[in-house]
Amino acid sequence: MEILIGIAKMNKYAMADCGDSVEVAERPRGGISAILADGQGSGKAAKITSGLVVAKAAALIAEGARDGAVARAVHDYLFTIKDGKVSSTLTIISVDLDTETLVFSRNSNCPVIIKGQYGIDIYDDAVNPIGVHRHMKPLMHQIPLEVGTIVVSYSDGIQAAGRKQGQTMEQDSILKYISDNPPEDVDYIATGILEHALELDKYRAGDDMTVVAVGVSDRDPDHKIQRISVSFPY
C-alpha cells in the first residue's frame, strides 16, 4: 500500500513571503504526518509564526509525542513566545501505521474533508486557533485507516477566495475535486483546488493559499521506493 501526499501553496498577491507553512514529518513508530499552519496576518511576520509552529510540531512528532499532545504543546509554545498576542491555525493530518488509524487535529476555521468508503464527511466544528487563549484544546478525530480514503484540508485563502471580487468559493466545487478523483491523484486534487481558488481571485490571490491532500492507495509499487519532490519557485 502507499500513502500519497500532494501539497500546493502560494503567496498572497504581491507579497514576497507566504504566511502559511506546511511540513511533512515521518512518524517514528510508522506512518507520516502533514502539518499545516496559517500564521496571523500576512507577509514575513506570519511566515515566521507559521514556520515556528510547523517546525515545533514536526520535531515533537519525530520525538514520538501523540498528536493531541503536539497540538497542545505547540499552542503553549506560541502562547509563551508571543505572550498570547499572535494566533495561528494548526491542522495535523496523520496516517498512523502503528495504530492503523487516520488521526487528525484541527485548530482552524477551515474544515478537514474525508472521502471514505461511504461518502464524504466534513469536519468543520468551530474551534479556536492556537496561541491566543490560555486554555486551548484541539478538535481530535481518529478513524480506521482504509484504502481509498482521501483527506483534504486548506487555509483561509482558499475558503475566502473570490471575496474581494464579489464571488464565493462554493464548497461543492472543492468536494467535486475530491469525489471525482482517486487517492493516487492527490497532487492533481491539491493543485486543482488551489487553481480554482486563484481563478475566483482573478489570478491575484487575496490571501496566502495552501491545500494539503492525503491519499491512501492500494497501489503496491516495485521495491517500495519512497519519493519526495519539491518545487519552490522564487
CB 55 within 8 A of CB 23: yes
Structure-block grid coordinates of residue 73 = 504543546
Among 19, 36, 56, 104, binds a copy of itself (CB under 8 A): 56
Q: Which stretch binds a copy of itself (CB under 8 A): 58-66, 111-119, 154-162, 168-176?
A: 58-66
Q: What is the DSSP string of 61-90?
A: HHTT--HHHHHHHHHHHHHHHTTT---B-E
Question: From residue 25 to residue 54, what is the string marking binding to a copy of itself with x (rule CB under 8 A)?
Answer: xx-x-xxx--------------xx--xx-x
Q: Give me the residue label for grid cell 464548497.
A: 171
In Å, the largest CA–CA distance within the chain is 51
Encoded amino acid at 167, one letter: Q
Could you tell me which of 206, 178, 147 has the C-alpha nearest to residue 13? 206
- What's the min distance (Å) between Cβ of 222 and a copy of itself? 9
Structure-block grid coordinates of residue 126 = 468551530
Is residue 22 near a copy of itself by the rule CB under 8 A? yes
Shorter beta-carbon distance to a copy of itself: residue 134 or 227 = 227
- What's the min distance (Å) between Cβ of 3 and a copy of itself? 4
Sites of contact with a copy of itself (CB under 8 A) = 1-11, 18, 21-26, 28, 30-32, 47-48, 51-52, 54-56, 58-59, 61-63, 95, 97, 187, 190-191, 194-195, 198, 203, 219-221, 223-234
